[in-house]
Amino acid sequence: MKKFKYIISILVFALMFSSCEEYLDHQPSVDVSEQQLFENLSGYQVVLNGIYKYIKNGTNGITVGIAGMQAYNLTSSPDLWIRPIGNGYYNSSIFLSIRTEADGSYANRSWEYHYKIINNCNIILEGIDAFNDDQPEVVAEIKGQTLAIRGWAYFNLARYFQQTYSIAKDMPGVPIYTTRATAERKQADRSTVEQVYTLILDDLNTALGLLANWERPGLEYINKDVVNTFLAQVYLTMQNWSEAESHANAARTGYALMTGEQYRSGFAEANSEWIWGFQQTENDNIRNQNLFGRWNINNHRPEGSPASGDNTLRANESFVNMFEEQDVRNLFWYSDEGELNSGWASDKFRDDGADWYGDMIVTRAAEMYLIEAEALARQNKGDQALALLNALQTSRNASVTTTANKEELIEAIWIEKRKELYSEGLVFWDLLRLEKDLEKEGDAQDYITIPAHSYQFIMQIPTDELNFGGISVQNPLDDIYNP
């Protein structure tokens, strides 16, 4: 094995898979050299498991990690608002400069989080092929997951740090690194958005082939179904409708839509619809930093429930009124506890346990139904699109859409997506992709309108990165891009 001279933050948190329940729960101290770590494939699995743990937990509380991304994205939801308690999360929701500025915590931590993941993926990818002759199946499993994670990380960076692909593919995206960070490696300039998406597709399509026959040990691991969800999202963003349709269909196959009882139970336990998510345990959890804590209202919870949660989210009344009474997703109730606590709350993310150990959802079949339906509608396959949309609506005990008119159907799918996926951190990506204005309202905040293509949606490159000298172009702080 090559002896590495320079080590930057290798994510060694977890033991090689023992069981899907245990792998993220282990946090051993590793007192071995990097050369020893990579003497066999178990060392690569240790680093891969460390990446998974970091994807879930990250650092610095709400600003990174899966839950941190979801929470940040919720501040740009047209249907939710943040209680005006004066913290950085609220300031982000009313689009103060802290949200995207180069010296702000969101841009810095999002950049660091994703590039740390990418660097560790590159560490694995640089050495793992040396074992291909001896254990090709294990190499394929580890390499496939690693490529998928790297593609996912670049996809997030591309969307956070530049306008959406359809209008910005020739504009500066983010730097591309496919080798590990070393003292000798030069700082890269920003590649175009098109170049970044080319890498994303190369990584994800290669991963799909490598993981074609792999049976994962648990929901936390990325298998071919998860890769198909990534590809469906990427192709939808690129407006490649046929590929989006194909991958969304492949991703949802075998994942039954949850029952009404499961939906109403509070998303605290993984079920047949979940494609990718993370379990929490007593020793491995992020407590009230997850989506359960965002909606928590203490006196609405059973005796013995957690005593604290930040209780920041509320729904717009106009959004609440979109739901029919019998719709299983109509989980709203009005809290009237004074100026700071009043408003429409939701039991969609409800964890009634003694602690915040509810499972964390990332992707599920309902999103794939909606991606496939939109992709079909865009291809003038209105009847097929309508059938998929109706299948989802029927499963939620909601009235079905009846029109197959292309534009009306696409709008109906957008509304259904908001209703189905609210508070999961996904609607923001569609707002960017569809080039829509953001219109926000709330009982305790002023009406906010942010026009489509605003750089108030797009993070600036962190100042520390600019100071390294390799990046030549900064994003505007507050401007409107005119395609």
**What are the phi and psi torsion angles at 168 (to 5°)?**
-130, 15
Specify which of 17-26, 233-242, 436-445 reaches the highest per-range mean pLDDT. Answer: 233-242
Which of 463, 437, 434, 466 lies closest to 451 in space, CA to CA?
437
Q: Quote the CA–CA distance of 482 and 35 in Å, as a whole number.
A: 51
Which of 111-115, 216-220, 407-411, 445-449 is the least confident region?
445-449
With beta carbons less than 8 A apart as the criterion, state whether 95 and 446 touch: no
Predicted model pTM: 0.93
Average pLDDT over residues 227-242: 98
Phi, psi of 201 (to 5 degrees): -65, -40
Tokens 């006196």 belong to 299
* Strands (DSSP E) found in 218-300: 274-278
**Which strands sit side by side in the sheet containing 80-82, from one edge to the other?**
80-82, 313-315, 343-346, 332-335
Distance from the Cα of residue 417 to its chain's centroid? 15
| Pairing assessment for the beta strands 313-315 and 80-82 based on DSSP bridges | antiparallel
For residue 17, name the pLDDT band (cuts at 50, 70, 90).
very low
Task: Using the structure block, give the residue that is written with the tokens 């499972």.
Answer: 359
H or E, element range at 315 = strand 313-315
Question: Cα–chain-centroid distance for residue 76?
Answer: 14
Question: Is the distance from CB of 251 to CB of 225 less than 8 angstroms?
Answer: yes
User: 361 - beta bridge partners?
Assistant: 277
pLDDT at 14 over 50: no
The token duo for 104 is: 């702000």
| pLDDT for the residue 380 | 98
Q: What does the pLDDT look like over 201-224, one tens digit per residue?
A: 999 999 999 999 999 999 999 999
The arithmetic mean of pLDDT across residues 88-111, rounded, is: 91
DSSP assignment string, 417-482: HHHHHTTTT-HHHHHHHTTPPEEEEETTEEEEEE-TTBTTSSPPPPHHHHHTS----PPPSS-B--
In sequence order, what DSSP letters do the residues of 281-295 get, joined into one string?
-SSS--GGGSHHHHH
Q: How many residues does the chain have?
A: 483
User: To which residue do tokens 């609440």 refer?
Assistant: 320
Name 81's bridge partners: 314
What pLDDT digit, counting tens, does each position of 101-159 carry? Answer: 999 989 998 999 999 999 999 999 999 999 999 999 999 999 999 999 999 999 999 99
Q: For residue 225, give the H/E element and its range.
A: helix 224-237
Alpha carbons 382 and 405: distance in angstroms, whole number: 7
pLDDT band (50, 70, 90) for residue 443: low
The model's confidence at residue 295, banded by pLDDT at 50, 70 and 90, is confident
Q: Are 367 and 421 spatial neighbours (Cβ–Cβ below 8 Å)?
A: yes
Q: For residues 297 and 134, give the distance between their C-alpha atoms in angstroms, rounded to a whole number.
A: 55
Is the pLDDT reported for residue 177 higher than 90? yes
| Rounded distance between C-alpha atoms, residue 375 and residue 398, angstroms | 22
CA 470 centroid distance within chain: 28
Tokens of 90: 């609220």
Domains parsed from the chain with CATH numbers: 34-262+362-467 (1.25.40.390), 263-361 (no CATH)
Give me the pLDDT at residue 87, please: 75
Between residues 247 and 27, the one the model is more confident about: 247
How far apart (Å, rounded) are the C-alpha atoms in residues 385 and 406? 10
Please report, for residues 81, 113, 114, 390, the alpha-carbon distance to residue 90 in angstroms, rounded to integers and kept in the order given: 9, 22, 24, 36
End-to-end, the C-alpha distance of the chain in Å comes to 50
Do residues 375 and 242 make contact, with C-beta atoms less than 8 angstroms apart? yes
The least confident of 1-15, 37-51, 126-140 is 1-15
3-state secondary structure of 313: strand
pLDDT exceeds 70 at position 73? yes
pLDDT: which is higher, 173 or 12: 173
What is the structure's pLDDT at 441?
A: 85
What is the pLDDT at residue 28? 35
Q: Which residue, 169, 192, 95, 175, is CA-closest to 428?
A: 95
Q: What is the average per-residue pLDDT within 268-278?
A: 95
If we measure between CA atoms, which residue out of 155, 160, 174, 162 comes closest to residue 236?
155
- Structure confidence at residue 309 as a pLDDT band (50, 70, 90): low
> pLDDT tens across 345-398, in order?
898 988 766 667 788 999 999 999 999 999 999 999 999 999 999 999 999 999
